[in-house]
Amino acid sequence: MARPRTFDSDQAVDAAMQALWRGGLGTTSVDALQSAIGIGRSSLYNAFGSKAELVRLAIDSYTERTLAALEGAFADRSVQQTVEQLLLDAATTNNDGHGCLLLNGLVELHDSDAQTLDAVRDGLRAIAQLLVRKAVASGAVVRDPAAFAAKFIAAIAGARTLQRAALPDGLAQQVAREFAALVVAS
């Protein structure tokens, strides 16, 4: 008879997400995931089936958290204020220097892992769709939703790069504000 599971799956996925965020979606080993979660290899495979499935669950969890944060970011703010604040945060704190798990994965994976890359792209699409919906719901005129979403993703990537480049905060903030104006003008 199999032993009962002695760990919380949600906590395990969260620990995996943190390990993948630090180490990379494609380069974090099964051993590193085991260590982060605190379980053996057989328990990892019994619980999640494969490393790829655990990575997908971690990406889904990150996406859900990001969507919830975006929902909150729009509370009592205009689209301009929300986009600007998101970009300012990315340009200065950048998730404590970790960046965005999805954008990091997009750059890291390119075509090396189609299954994980599809999950990353799905997450980015969900974020972009929510951003467009929230913008329209707040009364903003979004003439080209695809351009609005694409500019936002590009602006976030650029703002995160500014933070990683260790530019002076004032310069990073100025550029983030200019990015926000470009996104909102879509």
pLDDT digits over 33-86, tens only? 999 999 999 999 999 999 999 999 999 999 999 999 999 998 888 888 999 999
From residue 107, give the alpha-carbon distance in Å to each of 55, 64, 99, 100.
16, 21, 12, 11
pLDDT tens sequence across 102-150 = 999 988 887 778 899 999 999 999 999 999 999 998 888 888 999 999 9
Range of the domain at 89: 52-184
- Number of folded domains in the chain? 1
pLDDT of residue 36: 95
Q: Which CATH number fits the domain that encloses residue 74?
A: 1.10.357
Instruction: Find how far residue 42's CA is from the centre of its chain.
Output: 29
CA distance 31 to 68: 31
Give yes or no for residue 2 having a pLDDT over 70.
no
Q: Is residue 39 part of a domain?
A: no
Q: Is residue 72 part of a domain?
A: yes
Q: Is residue 61 part of a domain?
A: yes
Q: Is residue 47 part of a domain?
A: no
Average pLDDT of the chain, as a whole number: 89
Q: Is residue 67 part of a domain?
A: yes
Q: Is residue 180 part of a domain?
A: yes
Q: Measured at the alpha carbon of residue 125, what is the angle toward residues 18 and 103, in degrees to the nearest 5?
A: 40
Q: Is residue 70 part of a domain?
A: yes
CA distance 58 to 15: 9
Give yes or no for residue 160 having a pLDDT over 90.
no
Give yes or no for residue 17 having a pLDDT over 80.
yes
pLDDT of residue 5: 55
